[in-house]
Chain A
Amino acid sequence: MKKSNCCRLMSFVFSVAFVFAAVAAGDASKDSYVDPNPYASYGAAMASKARDPMAVEWQNRCDRAVKAATAPDVLASHVSSTCAALSLLKCVKGAYATDPLVLIVVASTTQYVMDPAADRCRCGCFRCGDARKVWSEALLLRAGSTSDAYVAMLCLDQLRWCGFPSQVAAVRNIGEKSKDRAVRDFAAMVARELAK
């Protein structure tokens, strides 16, 4: 009996020893692991690149320019007519080569036309409610007339925040006609959003 218990105890001790050895080997392999994504670590993810800045750095550098470009009367001028709106949207380039200021102005214009408190009558440009119609129609026109997938998706992305239910069919049509899977996907999502 005593010999049997002694064997069991020894086997338990060796089992534990093997586990520790395995963990040590595992720790060694963990040290050599390289995550497939270069931005997997906090430091790498936050590192700045001068030619490809983070939004926070860019905001701090261009604070005055952003404030000037997104003042209510400036935004109102972009939606005073379809021509003015399309003129702004033509500044959106493909493949993420657009000036970030243009993108911020585009996004701010979308929120401007949706702001229930914006007193557009005071600006003297047009009747309240026309701004949203002008802007959303321009987004739809631009999304439907460009062959660049990025430009189409950016316009559709803005349309999901300001489009009308009456534009659902036109959005679906853009998706169905596109050869780009991303545009088709996006258009379907925006159509669902507008139909809510």
Chain B
Amino acid sequence: MKATRRNFLKRAAGMSLFTIAPAHVLWGGAAPSNRLTRALIGFGAIAQSANHLPFNGSRLIGLCDPWEERVRHGLALAENGGWGKIKAYGNFMELLADKDVDIVHICTPPHWHGCMSVMAANAGKDIWCEKPMTRTVGEGKRVMEVVKAKKRMFRLNTWFRFQGRFYGFGTTVEPIRQVVENGLLGKGPIKCTFGAGQGFSWKFGWSGRVNAAPEKVPQGFDWDMWLGPAPWKPYTAHRAGTSFRGYWDYDSGGLGDMAQHYLDPLQYLLCKDDTSPVKIDYIGPKQHPEAVGRFDRITLTYDDGTEVILDGDESLKGEPLLRGANGLCVYPKAKDGKTLRLVDRTGKELDAEKVLSELPKPAPQQTDFIDSCKNRKTFALNESNGFRSCTMFNLGIVAERLGRGFEFDPVALRAKNDPAADRFLYQSMRSPWDREMWG
């Protein structure tokens, strides 16, 4: 046969089609047939990030989205990314009903997180949910109850309590926890400040338009499904884009977007995974009823006097991240490259590396979610501690909407003598999602 390019390609295609390397050669023990499966609910920007579409720990088998165009794009990306032809579900209920799906990744805006987590747990799925865990305290409590009752594995898509540099602070959380856990900050309340000065931006750009005029619903978009449990309001592109963050019905601006990343590690290093603040104070402007604005300062105070101050107007830029009862302060890294700065009450900087080397390290955490699902081990950031860290900023959001502070009972999970606050903490949903959520 003449050695032409066409003949060469034919032979190559033939060989690759009919002499595929065996699974154990390609995959070792992690052959596709041995791996847990996952499906994505929602295919906007976040679904394409590292822990969702390209995540290699489980096998991607399907996705759904109320935008038809995003489904088409997702299928193409999945195939080109090596997942082959995956399923396109008509809606997320079909996805949950599929017995071939082991884990659901909830990549929707926050107003769906609570309801979908409950429905997924009831459907026997393990859950990897985007942050924030839920939009309200009431939804978070319900998710926690159902996930526990159905014995499902649950994780949130934030990770700073066990890995990664802590935003502008510059170090992992582990050395900060060493300082707190070993009593270096003295006996008594700790003061924590979170703002631009400590390396954390509150992203006030996530704001809604004060008069977002109604627009025609685009072809191929199921607006009613996108809204789901949220109150029905006319479509406007700014509500349904990534700017959904700027509307109270779906999220709560920069506070809702970033606070679980910032405050969950704080809750961990303060060893407060099983409690919540008892007093919430608010300084800031009155809010628009639909569009999220800014806050100046929100203070969350625990029963032991520990304060967490969310510094919106950056008036506390010079404050340390942590100030101990004994005056020892923990600052973000200095320009000389030290990962952590410890300064005592006299202003003297300690040798942080030497101090830390003499302290025991925190207990190890369960950080492999696939291992959690296979062996039923509770993940490091789960429905219980995730609920508590979500509650921290959900309380702040309620204070913003009230325009004032209030008190909270961390055991009953209700506001104290404050029906107005309770209405924000426990909000109704649109039918039929209220029945799916509350039973």
Contacts and interface: CB of A to CB of B under 8 A. Distances in A.
Interface of A: 7-8, 10-12, 14-15, 18-19, 22-23, 25-27, 29-30, 33, 35-42, 44-46, 49, 52-60, 63, 66-67, 70, 95-98, 100, 103-104, 106-108, 111, 114-117, 150, 153-154, 157-158, 160-162, 181-182, 185-186, 188-190, 192-193, 196
Where chain B touches its partner, the secondary structure class is loop
A157 B428 CA distance: 11
B411 interface: no
B403 A108 contact: yes
B77 interface: yes
B291 interface: yes
A23 B207 contact: no
Interface in B8-55: 12-13, 15-16, 18-21, 25-26, 44-45
B430 interface: yes
B67 A46 contact: no
Given A14-B16, A115-B404, A54 B246 contact: yes
A104 B237 CA distance: 23
Contacts of B418: 116
A14 B242 contact: no
A96 B232 contact: no
25 contacts: A11-B20, A12-B25, A26-B79, A29-B80, A33-B73, A35-B44, A36-B67, A37-B67, A37-B242, A45-B241, A46-B243, A54-B207, A54-B208, A55-B207, A55-B293, A59-B288, A66-B285, A96-B213, A100-B210, A104-B288, A115-B420, A150-B234, A162-B420, A181-B232, A185-B430
**B interface, how many residues as a size bin?**
35 or more
Contacts of A154: 289
A193 B423 contact: yes
A190 B423 CA distance: 11
Interface of B: 12-13, 15-16, 18-21, 25-26, 44-45, 67, 69-70, 73, 76-77, 79-82, 204-214, 218, 220-221, 231-234, 237-238, 240-243, 245-246, 285-294, 401-404, 417-420, 423-424, 426-431, 434
A169 B164 CA distance: 54
Nearest to A42: B242
A8 B420 contact: no
Task: Please name the 4 residue pairs, one residue from A and one from B, whose CB atoms are nearest each other, closest first.
Answer: A26-B80, A39-B241, A114-B420, A45-B243
Contacts of A115: 402, 404, 420
Contact of B233 (A39, A53, A153): A153
